[in-house]
């Protein structure tokens, strides 16, 4: 049986290691680019500050718990490593998913040709009005020009891109209800 002071010192050491993991997590959140720069050469995208801090924190806390239950440093270290690798891998996976997010949130005017929109402010025959539409989950408002005047509320189809903020539109003819007429 391990003496009481040694047992407390071992548990305390594991808890300190877990605490260091929490501090590293806080530092990676506040100064993430600095940590990513330091550890980027070691493992690329797989070894992020969040993954490293998750490993250290999970290792320390799981080892402290295992030592308290099993009263064995070897078992505590084994449990800590397994927990650290699992939680670190999970944090790495989440970090990769967040960093590799697509650009579907970016609305590019050039990609709007053929999309249906609604006239927001009247479009005169010789000038611009405004249209609105939902693109990539975002309400988008653009200046619009048309060959014929269009009133607010009219459904239109974007036929061309004139600039980053202006498009050419035409009246939107809905599909006929009868498939034979399509």
Tens digit of pLDDT for each residue in 49-72?
788 889 999 999 999 999 999 999
CATH for the 109-181 domain, from 2.40.50.140, 1.10.1040.10, 3.30.470.20, 3.40.50.150: 2.40.50.140
| Mean pLDDT, rounded, of the chain | 82
Half-sphere exposure of 34 (CA within 13 A, CB side): 8
At 158, list the tokens: 């974007």
179: pLDDT strictly greater than 70: no
> In the chain, what percentage of residues exceed pLDDT 70?
78
Which residues partner with 128 through β-bridges?
Answer: 145
The answer on pLDDT for 122 being more than 70 is yes
The better pLDDT of the pair 25, 119 is held by: 119
């Amino acid at each position: 049986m391990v003496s009481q002071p040694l047992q407390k010192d071992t548990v305390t050491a594991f808890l300190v290691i877990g605490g260091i993991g929490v501090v590293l997590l806080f530092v990676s959140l506040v100064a993430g680019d600095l940590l990513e720069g330091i550890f980027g050469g070691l493992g690329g995208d797989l070894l992020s500050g969040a993954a490293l801090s998750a490993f250290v924190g999970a290792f320390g806390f799981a080892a402290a718990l295992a030592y308290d239950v099993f009263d064995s440093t070897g078992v505590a270290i084994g449990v800590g490593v397994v927990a650290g690798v699992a939680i670190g891998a999970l944090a790495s996976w989440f970090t990769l998913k967040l960093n590799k997010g697509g650009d579907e949130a970016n609305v590019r005017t050039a990609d709007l040709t053929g999309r249906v929109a609604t006239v927001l402010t009247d479009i005169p025959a010789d000038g611009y009005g405004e249209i609105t539409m939902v693109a990539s989950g975002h309400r988008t408002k653009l200046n619009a020009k048309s060959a014929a005047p269009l009133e607010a509320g009219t459904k239109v189809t974007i036929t061309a891109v004139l600039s980053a903020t202006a498009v050419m539109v035409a009246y939107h003819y809905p599909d006929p209800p009868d498939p034979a007429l399509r």
